[in-house]
Structure 1
Amino acid sequence: KLLTKWYRPSLLFALDHIKFTIMAVLLLFGASLYLAAKTGKSFMPTMDEGSIIIGVEMLPSISLKESLALNLKLQKKLISSVPEIKDIIARTGSDELGLDPMSLNDTDTFLVLKEKEEWREPSKAFVIDEIRKVLDEFVGIEYGFTQPIEMRVSEMLTGVRGDLAIDIFGSDNDQLEEIAVQIKSILESISGSSDVYKKANEGVEYFELEFDKKAMAYYDIGQQELNRFLKVMVTGMQAGIIQEGMRRIDMMVKGDKNLQNSLDKIQKLYYPLENGNAVPLGRLVKFISRAGPVQIEHEQGYRKTIVQTNVEGRDLVSFVEEAKAKIDNEVKLPAGYYLTYGGEFENQQRAAARLAIIVPLALFLVFILLFVSFGSFMQATIVLVNVPLALIGGFVGLYLSGEYMSVPASVGFIALLGIAVLNGVVLVNYFNYLIKNGRKLKDAVIEGSIKRLRPVLMTATIAAFGLLPLLFASGPGSEIQRPLAIVVINGLISSTLLTLIILPILYLKFSQGCCNKKKEKG
């Protein structure tokens, strides 16, 4: 009764001032669109998994023994300096199954944290900052932070671990490295960038063999023969197969095992000649030491390198837009070179493109069902007006809460549209029922709105109360649930309140002709 007492004069005022009411709602909708434009966009909210992974990369030329020693030193320093860390589990290089290929200079360090009650400050950001202070004391390493599930999902979907991965394609490896260094410095200068990372791809020592053609011709030695000699001495060559029961064992002919680890010993070898003499290998071949890349990646027929970064304190899409603008202005790409933007940003763009198709299609199907139900194009359109009314609350709720437009928020909008349309169906269906029973149009609208006030409020309230646990949840996964709950609850508030005012006005204004036609047919 109290709600009816407040609602009746509000409805009558709106019906007497239709233009003013509609203009006020249009202003609200315009303001919500402005807030939506100011709301950040991302793929998925970052979920707190309770653990941290540090990806540590050292110099490419480091040996396995040195890599393990440096990792052990780093881990001891972390344990002693950051009391929030309970245990450390690390893996250097590839695993035994070969499912996670990594170089000897790459280490995944898994940090198991203590319960939050034992932390100096109940903030994971504080813990990561303390870890950064320790890592910054070590020279010659690059590092980045991620989480176990986040790392696996990112690697499976995009092949990289960062929020943003910029792939640089071209033909010359040195040119690619130069462009990558420029882009890395640009990303580091942008607000919100964190753990900017470019894989160290230079510094591996290679030995090139330069054959002395004149000396080889003098001794009548062919390059193919010399290549075969070196292969046999260093890596070996299969000479046959030994059968032992069911086992088949390759019989290899090869030089001393020390030759694989000593260039000096290889240079001191003698090459046997056909006349029985031997000539020092150093007279025939020169071994030249050069620094080269760790690996050369290819994709779509081009060489490529990657620069990646995480984003903190701002939304992903605005960060990428700013990065694109700066890179376009400051980096001049040679002919035949180009960039692509991937990582979590690629997932966000893919999801946005799909939703741009799914949401209009869903609205079209809802409209078809409404048209079939009411048998009136106008009444189906009136009910569908509830959609922008619901968007008002959803957009405002996201902006005021500081959440981003993400996949969970988009799912919340889709769920919200169904509930909002349902309220419109309840009102329009009852208006039609009253008119069919002889009530005048305006009387039917006023009486129907007041009598359907309770069902409409109950529908919205029950749905909103059902989502309250998601809104106030604080456990694992709550970061993903919260945007959905914010959108639906705030959208229900705006949809319910505005539907009870706007829908009667629209029905009264645009159903007059429909009602007159029905009376004439009758």
Structure 2
Amino acid sequence: MESVYRRSGRAEVTEDPCPITDSEIMVILKPDADERTVGQEVMEAAEAMPFPVEVNTPMQERIAEGIGGTPADIQVKVFGRDLEALRGSIKELRERLMKVEGIRSVTPDTPDPMPRWRLVLDEEALRRLGVSRSLVTRTLQAALQGLPSEIRFEGPQRIERMVRFPNDGRTSPETLKGTPLVLDDGRALTLGQVAHFEEASTPTLVRRESGQRRIGLNIRTSGDLGGTAKRIESALEGVKLPEGAFIKLGGKIEEARETQRRLGLAIVAALTLVVGLLYIALKTWREVLVVLATLPDAFAGALLALWLAGETWNISSIVGMIGLFGVAVQNSLVLITQAKSLMAQGLPFEAALREASLGRVRPKLMTAGAAILGLMPMLFGFGGSELERPLAIAMVGGLVTSTLFTLLALPSFYAWVGKPKTEAVAEYH
């Protein structure tokens, strides 16, 4: 680590949604530091803390908070009216979730209730002794906060003088019970004669969503996000909740599911458009099939590259898959159009295919190489591009396998599938 600094609370006037009870510790790494190793060590230290800790990069945290309301991978939200009952349910849910495979840590998204002392007035004593509620309130305010006694101005500056009871800086129920109450008739009583203190607790933070109170558990996963979410949903089945309460999953998985649905539609639209344009260019479905044969190989290479790099199937990698649609078919389309051009000049099918395959090796390698070199900054994470890294990994893996397939296997596949009918009939006879 190169430097560490902390930010606690927030500005008085700000758009930051974080509560004033939050602290952020920013860590600047040295240029030669391994981000994964340091991140793993920080997470292990955070899990040992007695309070909830989230470990993330600043960019990922802001994006996650914007799209899902929390930087957690998965958040189990429990909605209901009674916060005390919800806290009891949260404890049971946490015990269940810790047994689910793929979960690294489970922490509440709100701190524990803050202990406090509650003043309970003795109504009978108030009536018997002739003490008003307002007198008790003013006396406590004078003892704890002070009462304004004078306001004066020094130029534009407004100065307010406060008067309060003398104290030694320690406030406890026992000392407050001895606070004097002076009545209008001159009698002097003590606060302990008309009230007593009870130990209670109050929420330090109340979260609301869609107009309803909620408590959440932030879950950090260590594998496939979608598979872990399904196991969590199975573990939550049959959980007894307070009346009117219900559970909803949030976090990155919420936005991931919605985005994957939209990207699924985008994949279908892109594939349809590519197939349509290929048919317009090639005029036959057989040759369109030959060109599209590179797509499964490209996708297999992308998945293999993601697995080797330790990345998961996420939104960025899906976008990389969509980008492979046009890039992967480019070389195979060049091969087929070149072969058809040579056939139009009078060469037989096999001779034209051989010439197109051998004569276009360098342009194919240059095309794929230029694309891969352009993705290198994102691939190695230069300039804070950790979000785009899965996209680059998927595209590089797909480009490598699709280029090899185009150079080594596609000519044979085209010779088997795309041979003109006239030559096929002639060979048969």
Q: TM-score, normalised by structure 2?
A: 0.76
Whole-Å separation in 2 of the counterparts to 1:390 and 1:134: 40
CA displacement 1:179-206 (0-9 Å, x = unmatched): 2222222332234332432257435222
Retained in 2: the 8 A contact 1:143–1:195? no
2:117 matched to 1:211? Answer: no
Q: CA deviation at 1:299?
A: 1.7
Q: Distance in 2 between matches of 1:107 and 1:424?
A: 55
- 2:356 corresponds to which residue? 452
Contact 2:321 2:394 in 1 (8 A): no
Match of 1:486 in 2: 397
Q: How well do the aligned residues superpose, as a CA RMSD in angstroms?
A: 4.2
The answer to whether the 8 A contact 1:390-1:495 is kept is no
SS across alignment from 1:452: helix
Q: Is the 8 A contact 2:328 2:399 kept in 1?
A: no
Greater CA deviation, 152-161 or 163-172? 152-161
Aligned residue pairs total 413
Aligned-residue sequence identity (percent) comes to 20
- 1:300–1:215 distance in 2 versus 1, CA, 3 Å: same
| 1:297 equivalent in alignment to 2:201 | no
Aligned with residue 349 of structure 1, among 253, 257, 262:
257
- Partner of 2:214, secondary structure, is strand
Contact 2:301–2:397 (Cα < 8 Å) also in 1: no
Hey, what's the Cα distance between the residues in 1 that align with 2:376 and 2:233? Answer: 36
Q: Contact 1:90 / 1:108 at 8 angstroms: preserved in 2?
A: yes
1:154-303 aligned within 5 A: 154-199=64-109, 201-202=111-112, 204-224=114-134, 226-231=136-141, 233-236=143-146, 242-247=152-157, 249=158, 251=160, 254-256=163-165, 258=167, 262-263=171-172, 264-303=174-213
State the secondary structure of the residue aligned to 1:405: coil
Q: Which whole-Å CA distance do the structure 1 matches of 2:406 and 2:298 have between them?
A: 4
Q: Is the contact between residue 224 and residue 313 of structure 2 (CA under 8 Å) also seen in structure 1?
A: no
Corresponding position: 1:340 with 2:251: no
Deviations 1:436-463 (CA, angstroms, capped at 9, x unpaired): 6678xxx44x344223214654454224
Q: Structure 1 residues 144 and 388, CA, compared in 2 at 3 Å: closer, same or farther? A: closer
CA contact (8 A) 1:233 1:259 kept: no
TM superposition shift of 1:176: 1.7
Q: CA deviation at 1:359?
A: 2.1
**Matched position secondary structure for 1:290:** strand
Any idea what the Cα deviations from partners look like across 1:373-418, whole Å, max 9, x if unmatched?
5567886676555544533443455456654323342233223211
3-state secondary structure, aligned to 1:202: coil
Instruction: Give the deviation of 1:485 after TM superposition.
Output: 1.6
**316-325 or 235-244, which moves further after superposition?**
235-244
Distance in 2 separating the partners of 1:358 and 1:130: 38
* CA gap 1:323/1:341 in 2 versus in 1, 3 angstroms: same
CA distance in 2, matches of 1:423, 1:258: 84
Equivalence for 1:465? 369
CA distance 1:353–1:489, shift in 2 (3 Å): same
Which residue of the partner structure matches residue 425 of structure 2? none
**Secondary structure, counterpart of 2:237 in structure 1:** helix
Listed one character per residue, the Cα deviations across residues 59-93 of structure 1 (whole Å, up to 9, x for unaligned) are: xxxxxxxxxxxxxxxxxxxxxxxxxxx65544555
Instruction: Say whether residues 1:325 and 2:229 are aligned partners.
Output: no
Residue type of the alignment partner of 1:273: L
Which amino acid in 2 is paired with 1:318?
A: G
The whole-number CA distance in structure 1 between the counterparts of 2:30 and 2:300 is 43
Q: Quick one: distance in 2 between partners of 1:238 and 1:381?
A: 86
**What is the CA distance between 1:317 and its match in structure 2?**
1.9
Alignment gaps of 5+ in structure 2: 423-429
Greater fraction of residues in helix: 1
Q: Which runs of 5+ in 1 are unaligned?
A: 1-50, 52-85, 513-522
Distance 2:144 2:309 in 1: 66
List per-residue Cα deviations over 1:448-482 (Å, max 9, x = no partner).
42232146544542243332683996565575443
Counterpart-to-counterpart distance in 2, 1:271 and 1:236: 15
For residues 296 and 459 of structure 1, do their structure 2 counterparts lie closer, same or farther at Cα, with a shift above 3 Å needed?
Answer: same
TM-aligned CA deviation for residue 153 of structure 1: 4.1
- Relative to structure 1, is the Cα distance of residues 431 and 132 closer, same or farther in structure 2, using a 3 angstrom cutoff? closer
- SS class of match (2:192): helix
Alignment of 1:352-501 (within 5 A): 352-370=260-278, 372-373=280-281, 383-384=291-292, 386-399=294-307, 403-430=311-338, 433=341, 443-444=348-349, 446-454=350-358, 457-466=361-370, 467=372, 470=376, 477=385, 480=390, 481-494=392-405, 497-501=408-412
CA deviation map 1:136-190 (0-9, x unaligned): 5x8x455554444444444444343332222222222122222222222233223
SS at match of 1:426: helix
Are residues 364 and 243 of structure 1, via their aligned partners in 2, closer, same or farther at CA, if it must alter by over 3 Å?
farther
- Residue identity opposite 1:452 in structure 2: A
User: Are the structure 2 counterparts of residues 471 and 149 from structure 1 closer, same or farther at C-alpha, using a change threshold of 3 Å?
Assistant: closer
Please tell me whether the aligned partners of residues 297 and 401 of structure 2 are also in contact (alpha carbons under 8 angstroms). Answer: no
SS at match of 1:271: strand
Higher RCO (CA-CA < 8 Å; seq separation 6+) = 1
Q: What TM-score results when the alignment is normalised by the length of structure 1?
A: 0.64
User: Residue 241 and residue 491 in structure 1: after superposition, are their counterparts in 2 closer, same or farther (change >3 A)?
Assistant: farther
Closer, same or farther: CA 421–340 of 1 in aligned 2, 3 Å: same
CA contact 1:427–1:448 (8 Å) conserved in 2:
no
Counterpart amino acid of residue 312 in structure 2: Y
